[in-house]
């Protein structure tokens, strides 16, 4: 019993001493636990949160604190409340009554005071609140789409300018830092290096455009803010204007012909583009008077000449698709072909004589039984012939390759 009584007395005495003898910090006058009332508190709050991170912590000392109150709103609305979290320590937290919007208001300023349980109010201290942006908006372009026209065959320093903006309130999320063309395999680029301080960006072509290849180019373009949030794509349409070019069109550089395939048009798709150039003489009212064209054929022979020169006549006929019904009017002299024996010849091979005609004294008469003289209105005469120039000869003198005549008709 004695041990029990001593312990109870000691505990009782301690309890009386604690209630009757206040600590040195509780003088009955509430104060805010802050170094300087002038410097006040500083808080940060994110747009999607309600708890404010305050430095230093809000705490009341000097008396038993039963609450805090906002006593002065410097700029009107102050949608905040101070909640006492630890009554024994006098600590509280600051919360927003609703989620805040940095784009509408970035800063808040108001005064707070601590209130003791005896309803005594402390001196005021100012709270400075900054709303932290959270990149809630993507960039948006000023125009829903862009359409421009350019001429083919040119390189442009600027085809079109595009511009996007961002509704976020801080430069980190509210500035547009990058543009990109999503469409691949298109001869265009967008400038992300120059004029970074300017929101517009220039799209230019990287090679001359060709109307025949593509009448228009459709690009998908996006923008990114500095937090790399991407915008919705917009369409940029580049229409290519055809530029008229004076000259021939539709003429292939190479034509393949198979021997024996008959007649073939060389340039069936050829067109002469005159654009708006006037044609004809000064009295012309209908445009073109006539068209003259010079066609030069070249083979891939190493000597750039006729690659048939190395073949015999019979082989040449076969290679060039000559008709099997063709008649040789100048055969090499032999039995049954004596009419060419008197003609001057070169020193070539016996089987492939080359005969010379001087235009006056040398000629041959083809035997009448070799060729039917009743030619039709259309026939073909094939020769391999080289004509020597004779400056002294009168140009009006006629030269005949083949002549069929009697006393009444000349052909």
Q: 263-279 pLDDT, tens per residue?
A: 888 889 988 888 876 65
Task: Report in angstroms the alpha-carbon separations of 269 from 13, 249, 297.
Answer: 121, 8, 18
Lowest mean pLDDT: which of 107-121, 270-284, 317-331?
270-284
Lowest mean pLDDT: which of 90-99, 186-195, 264-273?
186-195
Q: Contact at 8 Å (CB) between 28 and 114?
A: no
Task: Report in angstroms the alpha-carbon separations of 330 from 162, 186, 388, 403.
Answer: 79, 64, 19, 14
Given pLDDT bands bounded at 50, 70 and 90, which one contains residue 348?
low
**Angstrom distance (rounded) from CA 100 to CA 97:** 9
DSSP 340: G
Q: Which residues contact 108 (CB under 8 A, 6 or more apart)?
A: 75, 78, 80, 127, 128, 129, 131
pLDDT at site 392? 79
Residue of 406 and 48 predicted with greater confidence: 48
Residue of 81 and 313 predicted with greater confidence: 81
| Mean pLDDT, residues 24-35 | 83
DSSP 316: H
Is the pLDDT score of 34 beyond 90? yes
* Both structure tokens of 267: 């340039």
User: Tokens 């309890």, residue?
Assistant: 15
Beta-carbon-side half-sphere exposure of residue 246 (alpha carbons within 13 Å): 6
Lowest mean pLDDT: which of 6-10, 68-72, 277-281, 404-408?
6-10
Is the pLDDT score of 9 beyond 60? no
**Angstrom distance (rounded) from CA 308 to CA 195:** 66
Residue of 261 and 116 predicted with greater confidence: 116
* Both structure tokens of 302: 């190493």
Given pLDDT bands bounded at 50, 70 and 90, which one contains residue 287?
low
Given pLDDT bands bounded at 50, 70 and 90, which one contains residue 197?
low
Lowest mean pLDDT: which of 93-107, 226-240, 286-300?
286-300
pLDDT at site 80? 95
* Full set of structural domains in the chain with CATH: 31-132 (2.60.40.60), 140-241 (2.60.40.60)
Given pLDDT bands bounded at 50, 70 and 90, which one contains residue 309?
low
DSSP 137: -
Given pLDDT bands bounded at 50, 70 and 90, which one contains residue 118?
very high
Given pLDDT bands bounded at 50, 70 and 90, which one contains residue 156?
very high
Given pLDDT bands bounded at 50, 70 and 90, which one contains residue 300?
low
Calculate the average pLDDT of the chain: 82
Q: Contact at 8 Å (CB) between 100 and 44?
A: no
Is the pLDDT score of 237 beyond 50? yes
Residue of 193 and 62 predicted with greater confidence: 62
Residue of 383 and 307 predicted with greater confidence: 383
Instruction: Indicate the SS3 state at residue 174.
Output: helix
- By C-alpha distance, which of 266, 197, 254, 49 is closest to 136? 49
Q: What are residue 396's phi and psi, to 5 degrees? A: -80, -10
pLDDT at site 229? 95
Rg of the chain over all Cα atoms, to the nearest angstrom = 53
DSSP string, 356-378: ---SSS------TTTS-S---S-
Task: Report in angstroms the alpha-carbon separations of 357 from 6, 348, 361, 396.
Answer: 160, 16, 8, 19
* Both structure tokens of 266: 């060389």
């Amino acid at each position: 019993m004695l041990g029990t009584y001593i312990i109870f007395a000691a505990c009782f005495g301690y309890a009386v001493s604690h209630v009757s003898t206040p600590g040195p910090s509780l003088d009955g006058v509430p104060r805010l636990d802050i170094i300087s009332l002038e410097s006040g508190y500083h808080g940060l709050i994110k747009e999607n949160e309600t708890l404010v991170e305050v430095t230093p912590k809000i705490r009341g000392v000097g008396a038993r604190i039963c609450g805090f109150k906002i006593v002065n709103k410097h700029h009107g609305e102050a949608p905040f409340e101070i909640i006492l979290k630890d009554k024994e320590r006098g600590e509280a937290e600051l919360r927003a009554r609703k989620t805040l919007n940095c784009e509408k208001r970035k800063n808040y300023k108001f005064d707070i005071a601590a209130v003791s349980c005896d309803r005594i109010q402390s001196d005021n201290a100012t709270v400075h609140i900054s709303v932290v942006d959270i990149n809630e908006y993507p960039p948006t372009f000023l125009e829903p789409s862009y359409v421009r026209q350019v001429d083919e065959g040119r390189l442009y320093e600027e085809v079109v300018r595009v511009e996007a903006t961002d509704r976020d309130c801080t430069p980190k999320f509210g500035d547009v830092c990058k543009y990109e063309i999503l469409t691949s395999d298109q001869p265009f680029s967008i400038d992300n290096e120059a004029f970074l301080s300017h929101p517009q960006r220039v799209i230019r072509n990287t090679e001359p455009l060709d109307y025949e290849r593509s009448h228009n180019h459709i690009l998908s373009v996006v923008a990114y803010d500095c937090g790399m949030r991407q915008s919705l794509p917009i369409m940029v349409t580049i229409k290519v204007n055809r530029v008229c070019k004076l000259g021939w069109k539709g003429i292939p550089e190479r034509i393949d012909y198979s021997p024996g395939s008959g007649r073939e048009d060389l340039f069936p798709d050829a067109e002469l583009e005159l654009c708006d150039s006037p044609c004809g003489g000064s009295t012309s009212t209908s445009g073109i008077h006539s068209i003259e064209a010079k066609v030069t054929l070249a083979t891939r022979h190493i000597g750039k000449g006729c690659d048939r020169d190395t073949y015999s006549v019979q082989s040449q006929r076969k290679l060039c698709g000559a008709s099997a019904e063709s008649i040789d009017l100048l055969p090499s002299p032999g039995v049954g072909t004596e009419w060419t024996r008197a003609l001057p010849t070169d020193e070539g091979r016996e089987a492939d004589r080359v005969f010379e005609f001087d235009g006056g004294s040398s000629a041959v008469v083809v035997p009448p039984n070799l060729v039917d003289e009743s030619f039709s209105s259309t026939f073909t005469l094939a020769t391999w012939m080289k004509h020597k120039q004779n400056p002294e000869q009168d140009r009006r003198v006629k030269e005949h390759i083949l002549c069929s005549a009697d006393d009444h008709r000349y052909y």
